[in-house]
Amino acid sequence: MKNIHLPGFWAALIAAFFLASEVAFAGEIRDDVEDRRYLRCGYEKKILPFSKKDHLADFAQELCQAFALALFRDKDALKSVTIPAGEGEAYLQGQRVDLLMLSPSQKEKPAQLMAAPLIGNRLTVMSLFGQKTAGALAGKRICTLSRPEYRSGLAVFSQKQQISFSVVAYKTAAELQDSILKLGCTAVALPAVELADLRKAIRRTFPRPHVWETILSGGSLGIVVDTEDREWLNIARSFGYVLLQAEVLGLTADNVDNTAAVTRNSVLLTMLGMEGDLGSSLGLDRQWAYRVIQSHGNYGEIYNRYLGDGKGLVLDKKSEELLNDESLLTAPRL
């Protein structure tokens, strides 16, 4: 485990973060879940356009199990609900699920809120021939799918890099892939998850592409909840925060028991339920976070089981970037 001495800022942040629940927003969802004794965790199918496979379902399932473990001390106190593509909002608003796992943020839908981002999915540029300088893309063709938000994101990229290029937008993924394989594109712009799917599909033709770290438009996939229940929002937010923060702090399934026994760090002791009463403000027991990390590991450990090297979809983790996401650092605007 990392030998980290956290400044007072982190202690204050964690305290403010976890104790943010307000009695005025006592949660009906939490009460309903408690009464039925299991969590209904919804996952909207995500058949990726190039592989025609859903590479995120198993990752979502383990996250749902970990969430159930936080609530009930039993990862099997869970009903996993697979939702047809495009129907996640209807299931959530119709109270057919308690939350959506690995769903996109929907800023235009005020009844839903991203409680905890868990996969970065911003529009990203990948140079197919390995160009690592922006100037190499000047005057070239950047291919994408025909979405207004993709064009606007590329306009921002052009302005930031101070270069001009042509944008070729295709109606279907098949048309885009065909153009790429016929060497009709210098670079591609897609959301990170779809780009990782494409990268695997074209890896034999383009074995060493370069993915730009430039942040463009788009959002994340994570835990989406009903905005009307503040308590439930805080539970979901705290769950995501603990998984991400545990990775940053070096807490793992292998070392959490020893850390709890020997550490004198008050922040870690509070997170693990060895001091204070972290869970009471959320309606959970003191050691819910300890239990989740002990059984499933931190965010990175779970992530790497499904999206790491050698897996069906290789997608770079963005743990610290996700921790700095507004949804984890600010109170919900209800």
pLDDT digits (tens, 9 = 90+) for 128-156: 999 998 899 999 999 999 999 999 999 99
Q: How confident is the model at residue 2 (pLDDT cuts 50, 70, 90)?
A: low
Among residues of the chain, what percentage have pLDDT more than 70? 86
pLDDT at 236: 95
Say if residue 85 is exposed, middle or buried (CB neighbours under 10 Å; 0-12, 13-18, 19+).
Answer: exposed
List beta partners, residue 40: 79
pLDDT at 106: 66
pLDDT at 328 over 80: no
Please give the CATH topology (third level) of the domain spanning 123-211: D-Maltodextrin-Binding Protein; domain 2 (3.40.190)
| Six-digit token string for 205 | 């033709």
Q: Which residues contact 281 (CB under 8 A, 6 or more apart)?
A: 18, 19, 20, 21, 234
Identify the weakest region by mean pLDDT among 99-103, 167-171, 312-316.
312-316
Q: How confident is the model at residue 75 (pLDDT cuts 50, 70, 90)?
A: very high
pLDDT at 18: 47
Average pLDDT, the chain: 87
| Six-digit token string for 5 | 């001495």
Q: Which residue has the tokens 């911003």?
A: 122
21-120+220-329 and 123-211 in the same fold: yes
Phi, psi of 157 (to 5 degrees): -60, -45
pLDDT at 7: 43
| CATH number at 21-120+220-329 | 3.40.190.10
Q: How far apart are CA 137 and CA 142, in angstroms?
A: 8
pLDDT at 15: 47
304 Cα distance to chain centroid: 13
Are 217 and 152 within 8 A, CB to CB?
yes
35 vs 23, higher pLDDT: 35
pLDDT at 252: 97
Q: How confident is the model at residue 217 (pLDDT cuts 50, 70, 90)?
A: low
Other Cβ atoms closer than 10 A to 163: 16
pLDDT at 79 over 50: yes
pLDDT at 113 over 70: yes
Parse the chain into domains and list their residue ranges: 21-120+220-329, 123-211
pLDDT at 329: 56
pLDDT at 327: 63
